[in-house]
């Protein structure tokens, strides 16, 4: 039987490394040219009360974007997380040549 990760409630500091690793893993699993919603990460890690973790997941996504490990898009266009409001998507960065 697979066990879900057990993290502290939202008023506690989450394991940000686990959140970042989960984002990277889910993006990689989804594959090139496809994306995930940050809520998929929150729902996976925090099935109960996932909405309370959305801001933390978005913060970790922004950090990964600054490290050029993921790409963040909105309405199909690459954006900086700091410049967005509303729904975003996370994907693998485009290949570098």
Q: What is the pLDDT of residue 11?
A: 52
Q: What is the pLDDT of residue 94?
A: 83
pLDDT tens, 7-60?
444 555 568 999 999 999 999 999 999 999 999 999 999 999 899 999 999 999
What is the separation of C-alpha 36 from the centre of its chain, rounded to a whole number of angstroms?
8
pLDDT tens, 47-73?
998 999 999 999 999 999 999 999 999
| Residue 93 DSSP symbol | P
pTM of the prediction? 0.83
Taking residue 38's Cβ as centre, other Cβ atoms within 10 Å add up to 25
Q: Which domains does the chain have, with CATH numbers?
A: 16-91 (1.10.10.10)
């Amino acid at each position: 039987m697979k066990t879900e990760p057990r993290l502290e409630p939202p008023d506690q500091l989450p394991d940000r490394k686990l959140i970042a690793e989960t984002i990277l893993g889910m993006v990689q699993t989804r594959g090139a040219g496809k994306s995930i919603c940050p809520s998929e990460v929150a729902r996976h890690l925090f099935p109960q009360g996932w909405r309370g973790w959305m801001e933390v997941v978005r913060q970790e996504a922004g950090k990964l974007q600054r490290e050029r490990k993921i790409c963040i898009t909105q309405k199909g266009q690459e954006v900086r997380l700091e410049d967005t409001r509303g729904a975003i998507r996370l994907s693998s960065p485009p290949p570098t040549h």
